[in-house]
A = this chain, B = another copy of it.
Amino acid sequence: MQKNRLEAFSDGVIAIIITIMVLELKVPHGTDLATLKPLLPVFLSYVLSFIYVGIYWNNHHHLLHATHKVDGKILWANLHLLFWLSLFPFATGWMGENHFTATPTAMYGFVLLMAAIAYYLLQCAIIAQEGRSSLLAQAVGRDWKGKLSPLLYLTAVGLSFVRPWLGSAIYVLVALLWLIPDQRIEQTLTQHEQKS
Contacts and interface: CB of A to CB of B under 8 A. Distances in A.
A169 B6 CA distance: 30
Nearest to A18: B13
Interface string A134-171: 00000000000000000000000000000000000000
B14 A11 contact: no
A87 interface: yes
A130 interface: no
A107 B2 CA distance: 34
A14 to B, nearest CB: 7
A48 B153 CA distance: 27
A75 B98 contact: no
Which bracket fits the contact residues of A?
35 or more
Interface in A63-94: 65, 72, 75-76, 79, 82-83, 86-87, 89-90, 93-94
A2 B65 CA distance: 8
A58 B48 CA distance: 28
A133 interface: no
B14 A17 contact: no
A72 B12 contact: no
A103 B58 CA distance: 36
A16 B19 contact: yes
A181 B15 contact: no
Given A19-B17, A79-B54, A86-B18, A27 B103 contact: no
